[in-house]
Amino acid sequence: MSEPVKNQYEMRDPREQYPKPPFPQQPQSAPGLAAEMVPRPDHGETSYQGFGRLKGRKALITGGDSGIGRAVAIAYAREGADVAINYLPSEERDAQEVVKLIEEAGQKAVAIPGDLKDEAFCTQLIERTVEALGGLDILVSNAGRQTYRESIEEITTAQFDETFKANVYALFWLTRAATPHLKPGSAIITTSSINAHQPSETLLDYATTKAAIAAYSEALAGQMAKRGVRVNSVAPGPFWTVLQPSGGQSQEKVQKFGGDVPLGRPGQPAEIAPLYVLLASQEGSYMTGGVFPVTGGEIF
C-alpha cells in the first residue's frame, strides 16, 4: 500500500504523486468496498485542509461512502458543511468511516442507506435530509452504476434498465424533489464522465447515461438560473475507485487502469474533490451550465 499524500498543497510532480499501474487483480462483488482495494484510494483523509468555503451549508451526496463521493463528503465537512450521505446497505462499513470523518471535522453527519433505483426512496431521501439537516443547499448526484460487457449481446434488458435508473432516473427524481428546498445561492452538481465524449466500447449503457447526464445538467442549468441556483457537471476520466474492480472494468483493465492517459496513472478521489468544492461555493458564483473534465490530460 502506498503512503497517502500528507499535504496536497505541496508542489510535486503530478506524474509521481500517486501509484501507477500495474495494479494487482482484485475482483470484488458489486458494489464493493474501498477498504479492500490495493492500493487503497486516497479520499483526502489525511491531506484535505478546509478554509471555511462552505460554512453553514447543508449538503447531500449520493454515493458518499467511497470513491469520489467520499472525497467530496470529507472536503465539504472540512469546509464547514453539514453532510448527509446516501449509499447501499452493503456499503455500511465504508459509510461509517465517512460518518466518523465528518464528525471529526466538527460537522453533523447523516447516513441514509437505500437504493436510488426506487423513485419513492429518492423522494424520501430528500425529505429525510432536509429534516435531519434543517434544509438543503447543495445536492451532489454522484452515485453511479457501471458494468463492463464486451458485446451488446451480453447486455440484458435488466442491466440496461438498472443502469439508467441508477444513473439518470435517480438524478431526475432527486432534483425534482430537491428543487422546492433550494434557495438562491444553492448548487446542484452532477457527475458525468469522459465516456460522455469518448465512450468505451465495453461500457455501452454506462457511457450513454453519462452523455445524458451532461445534457440534463446543461438544460437544467437554464431553468435553475431563474431561481438563482447553479447547476454544473464534473466529468472524471480514470479515477481509482471501487467502481472499477467490482465489475466496472475487466480485471485485465484494472491492472493497467489509468496507464494510457498523459499523466500515466489514474486519478485519486482526493484530486477531484476541490472542484466539487469550487462549484458548490460562492467562489464559483458565475459558473453554471458547465461540464468540467478532470482526465489526467486525456482530451475531452
Q: Which domains, ranges and CATH numbers included, belong to the chain?
A: 49-294 (3.40.50.720)
Angle at 9 between CA 7 and CA 12, to 5 degrees: 90
Give bridge partners of residue 109 from the DSSP assignment: 83
Provide, for the chain, the percentages of residues in helix, strand and coil under a 3-state DSSP scheme, each rounded to the nearest 5.
40, 15, 45
Strand order in the sheet with 291-294: 109-113, 82-87, 58-62, 138-141, 187-191, 230-236, 291-294
The Cα–Cα gap between 166 and 243 comes to: 14
pTM: 0.96
Q: CB of 233 within 8 A of CB of 289? A: no
Which cell numbers hold the place of 195? 465516456
Return the active site residues: 206
Whose cell is 482526493? That residue is 270
Gap between the Cα atoms of 189 and 217, Å rounded: 8
Work out the pLDDT band at 44, boundaries 50, 70, 90: very high
Q: How confident is the model at residue 53 (pLDDT cuts 50, 70, 90)?
A: very high
Phi and psi dihedrals of 85, rounded to 5? -120, 145
Return all residues near 94 (Cβ < 8 A) that are at least 6 apart. 33, 34, 35, 65, 66, 70, 87
**Contact by Cβ (8 Å): 209, 161:** no
> What pLDDT, in 10s, does the model give residues 73-125?
999 999 999 999 999 999 999 999 999 999 999 999 999 999 999 999 999 99
At residue 7 the predicted structure's pLDDT band, cuts being 50, 70 and 90, is confident
**83: which strand partners?**
59, 109
pLDDT digit string (tens) for 174-225?
Answer: 999 999 999 999 999 999 999 999 999 999 999 999 999 999 999 999 999 9
Residues counted in the chain:
300
